Amino acid sequence: MTSATPRQMALVAFLQAQNCSNYAGSWRHPSSMTDYLSPEYYQRIARTLEEGKFDMAFFDDRLAMPDIYGNNHHETVRHGVRAIKLEPTSVLMAMGMVTSRLGLGATYSTTYYEPYHVARLFATLDLMTKGRVAWNVVTSMNDSEAANFGADEHLEHDTRYDRADEFMEVVMGHWSTWREGAIVADKQESYFADPSMVTRLDHEGRFFKSRGPLTVPRSAQGHPVILQAGQSGRGLAFAARWAEVVFAKYPTLENGIKQYQALKAGAAAAGRDPASIKICAEVKIIVGDTEADAREKHDLIASLSRPIDGLTMIGETLNIDFAGRPYDQPFTDEELAAVSWQSLRDKVVQVSGKKNPSVRDFVEASGRGTLRDGPCFVGTGAQVAEQMIEWFDKACDGFVLSATYVPGTYEDIVRLVIPELQKRGVFRKEYEDGTLRSHLGLRKPRAGDWRKPQ
């Protein structure tokens, strides 16, 4: 009698289509490649990830250059703090052309795009990659993005999520306007598809009005996988309703255990099977052939951070200009209520122990722009694998792995960490099928399933 296959870990690479990774100082690393404006840069990463049997690579995105700090973009451009942001689905397709198994995800905003456009774009991408695409759903975060789309200011936090809920209803509805088996393609009878299996959506709601039907049939995996990263109370409720993969930021393992349990319970309360959501914790990994080698790498990477990185990035995510503000002046209740990224605000309040933190508290407690921004596993391949398994056993279904230099971080993980995870039986040695859903162990939805509890 053979034993059951151990629970398998999901691995997702967290990418940026820009001059640096989400660690802003990564571009300063002597080994970071500098051809980030070419397809070869992203294709090299894609091949490495597929060699390592990663489930997916996904691109974060913002719709504006960081320019909240000082109300201009000068410091961002001068110091290369995410100054370049390419359109992510175009980059995704460049990676899709050189891979056949790796899942590929891209971020698109529900605040500044239209549902029909997003439904059509991602359904087409999913067909062109034979069912390997995911959509990372975001509501965007600051006034700079609003200005680029003709608005005076960003929408209020809960209103963004109300709009996002309806946006999802429209997109999922359009993805269901073609039923499975609709296409007959009988040339003799000149009968292409069954009209009764292609329907209009005819949606009319608070934010959107969209008729349909969509012009793109369903893909090999039904429809693209839904990613989401909301961490506030409203964001977690959104994830519990819609997400299939959740990108979670845990400051500690203990916090992660609580968040993991809360999100699974939220899914059950929303009428979904908690197993239908994969929760992946973001971590940085710095791995070496020896522990001393890993520590040396860590120290070099940590030295790449500059104070301006954190100040610029915090301003971008909180939608607050920290320039010229007294460093130790507490924020008022009204200022804190207006913060765009509420989960980061709540983390700073918790870590600092102050109801009204200052700029200093935000910089020190958030760790933005430094290696202290989230967990960082450092050591040999075996040591890192053991840290990952401890978290996997208690607080997550897998990991979103952030790079500290590119492509070296992923090359190190594939060479040193993946074999250790495979040896322990928690990560695949080969892909079993071609679709992203099959990698993640998610069921293939049929048209209309999104309206039913899963």
Q: What is the DSSP string of 351-394?
A: HHT-SS--HHHHHHHH-TTSTTSS-EEEE-HHHHHHHHHHHHHH
Q: How much of the chain exceeds pLDDT 70, in percent?
A: 97
Determine the distance from the C-alpha atom of residue 132 to the mean position of all C-alpha atoms in its chain, rounded to a whole number: 15
Question: Average pLDDT of 244-258?
Answer: 93
* Between 359 and 165, residue with greater pLDDT: 165
The answer to whether residues 80 and 24 touch, using CB atoms and an 8 Å cutoff, is yes
CA distance 410 to 47: 10
* Residue from 173, 160, 177, 350 nearest 254 by CA: 350
CA distance 376 to 295: 12
* Residue from 398, 207, 298 nearest 25 by CA: 298
Residue 88, preceding peptide bond in cis (omega within 30° of 0) = no
Both tokens assigned to 442: 């998610």
Q: How confident is the model at residue 451 (pLDDT cuts 50, 70, 90)?
A: confident
Question: Average pLDDT of 117-141?
Answer: 96
Segment 62-89, tens digit of pLDDT: 999 989 889 899 999 999 999 999 999 9
Per-residue pLDDT at 420 exceeds 90 = yes
Both tokens assigned to 71: 């109300």
What pLDDT shows up at residue 4?
63
CB contact burial 244-262 (16+ within 10 A = b; e otherwise): bbbbbbbbeeeebeebbee
CA distance 185 to 86: 39
Question: Average pLDDT of 379-407?
Answer: 97
Question: Average pLDDT of 271-281?
Answer: 93
Question: Average pLDDT of 425-430?
Answer: 97
Both tokens assigned to 1: 């009698």
Per-residue pLDDT at 430 exceeds 80 = yes
CA distance 368 to 359: 12
CA distance 402 to 236: 22
Per-residue pLDDT at 130 exceeds 90 = yes
Helix residue ranges per DSSP H, 64-198: 74-79, 88-96, 115-128, 143-148, 157-175
Both tokens assigned to 429: 């040695």
What pLDDT shows up at residue 168?
97
Helix (H/G/I), strand (E/B), else coil: 54:
coil
What pLDDT shows up at residue 115?
98
Q: How many CA atoms lie within 13 A of 257 on its CB side?
A: 6
CA distance 416 to 397: 21
Segment 304-322, tens digit of pLDDT: 999 899 888 888 878 888 8
Give the list of residues 6+ apart from residue 113 with CB closer than 8 angstroms, or none. Answer: none
